[in-house]
Chains A and B, each alone.
Chain A
Amino acid sequence: MKLIGEKGVTKVLMITAFSAISILLLIALFIINEGLPFIFKYGAGNFLLSSDWQPHLNKFGIYPMIVASIWVTLGAMIVGAPLGVAGALFLSEYVPRTIMRIVKPTIELLAAIPSVVYGFIGVMVLAPLIRKNFGGPGLSLLAASIILGVMILPTVISISIDSILAVPQSYREGSLALGATTWQTIHMVTIKASKSGIIASIILGLGRAIGETMAVIMVAGNSVNIPHSPLDSVRTLTANIALEMSYATGMHRQALFATGVVLLIVIIILNSIASVAIRKRISKR
């Protein structure tokens, strides 16, 4: 790097950052470009607020899917976020480092298991369990939330562990020396000092939960139905796209991309709510 000097490095970094961000922007534009015209043509109201999805009759109403996406994501967060953060806190504050160092990579293994495998486990184990114990078809909002909740665990746990470990030891010492228990230290100092990383972990987990398709398709049941209970079968926006994309042409295909645009908006809204909500919770004290 000597060759190009500090100014050169700055420029290289800037260009890299700029290109990375433009690629990501390009994706957003790609979706919007493919989907937005349809929304204008079909009418945003009809598209967003109707519950009638019958592509072969050119009826494209995605209201139930919007509702379902929000519920499933919420459900996944309720299952995954507390479990993940709790696990991260326990592994980094109560468990010897050597054990943590084996458990963490093992948990990250969960991230590499293909989502189809999760889907099969959902169909073969979880859905029958739900059906037997609570009734309904088994393939349901509940099943999807649980499977997604499990799928985001490695993201939440790993990133949280790192940010908790980055909290200076002197904060812990300061707190313990004042007679705090480990838990008091965690809850009054550690969580606060690692706030930013814990939030990032939850937001990235949220991203994974919203964006997951294969597993959701397999366990959510995919009925185009406004859910009235967690045991109802639901179809999420992502599932809708992935489910029908392989046979969709013409108008139908455009409608699926338009679903993508709506998904993007839902993601933006959920992300904003999540970051505000988590930030509030963590920095309340």
Chain B
Amino acid sequence: GKGKTSLTLAGSTAFQPFAEKLAEKYMTTNPNVTITVQGGGSAVGIQSANSGAAQIGMADLVTLPEDAKALTATVVAKDGVAIVVNPANKIINLTTDQIRDIFNGKITNWKEVGGENAPITVVSREAGSGTRSSFEQIVTNITLKKDALIQDSNGTIRETVANDANSIGYLSHGLLNEKIKALKVDGQDCTVESIVSGNYKLVRPIFLLVKGNLEGEIKNFIDYILSEEGQNTIKKDGLLPAK
């Protein structure tokens, strides 16, 4: 129609900054569209897409829950999950089995995997989190040990690991920096190439959820995200393209 169309995206806090950046770019070429991006978490994304409070919900879950079944889901990006330790740690590689045993509490000292004699502090994400679900699905058979520390965001996982020489955790690979060290998993580097080529297994999808069919401005925007320009933006800031 005439005048301004406005779109609201809401949900996943991990994807929120990317959505903001994409919206910013999209609006410069489509001045008749206003896009607002809200956080609140994946659950809010699903809920508000259902209730209509937002036209597009953002979710970074691995499998979508019941409530989201009625929504049209599009994978717009992927995210690699890096296993990280403190830079002071000498370990550079862990096998999937070792990772599983560490997180399950079977291995409790770094010396058991070739490191120094120091207890391992396990740091994980909260139950339900997309990062955690994908981590657990890919590593398989994880029953997180009871005294594992839980943090609820990439940033706080990074701070925790950066501040504790004995800790191990996992986070979005786009947020790797010099304060923490990403481990090889089964000998595979956690790099974009390695992930895109499929060698590095810890990857999870990011969904946009829409009630009903994709049409009008909603479709245009999602198409834009999936376009080369959109996908490049995503790649530049640390996520991986959808395909």
Q: Tell me, yes or no, whether A binds B.
A: yes
13 contacts between A and B (CB under 8 A): A55-B127, A56-B127, A123-B163, A127-B164, A128-B163, A137-B147, A138-B163, A139-B160, A222-B151, A233-B149, A243-B150, A246-B13, A246-B43
Residue of A120, A139, A222, A250 touching B66 (CB-CB under 8 A): A250
B41 touches A246 (CB 8 A): yes
B152 within 8 A of A: yes
| Nearest 4 interchain pairs by C-beta | A246-B41, A247-B128, A222-B150, A249-B65
Of listed A137, A247, A249, residue having the most chain B CB within 10 A: A247
List, in ascending order, chain B residues with CB within 8 A of A242's CB.
Answer: 152
Q: How far is the CA of A100 from the CA of B176 in the complex (A)?
A: 47
A218 touches B43 (CB 8 A): no
Mask, A185-223, CB within 8 Å of B = 1, is 000000000000000000000000000000001100111
B159 touches A223 (CB 8 A): no
B126 within 8 A of A: yes
Of listed B121, B143, B150, B163, residue having the most chain A CB within 10 A: B150
List, in ascending order, chain B residues with CB within 8 A of A165's CB.
Answer: none
A243-B152, A247-B61 as given contacts; A253 in contact with B164, CB under 8 Å: no
For chain A, the bracket of interface size reads 35 or more
B128 touches A224 (CB 8 A): no
Interface residues in B35-89 by Cβ distance below 8 A to A read: 40-44, 46, 61, 65-68
B172 within 8 A of A: no
A56-B127, A246-B13, A253-B43 as given contacts; A127 in contact with B152, CB under 8 Å: no
Residues on B lying within 8 angstroms of A by beta carbon are 13, 40-44, 46, 61, 65-68, 121, 126-130, 133, 143, 146-152, 156, 159-160, 163-164, 167
Mask, A96-128, CB within 8 Å of B = 1, is 000000000000000000000001100110011
Q: How far is the CA of A62 from the CA of B43 in the complex (A)?
A: 21
Q: How far is the CA of A224 from the CA of B147 in the complex (A)?
A: 7
A247 touches B151 (CB 8 A): no
List, in ascending order, chain A residues with CB within 8 A of B46's CB.
Answer: 249
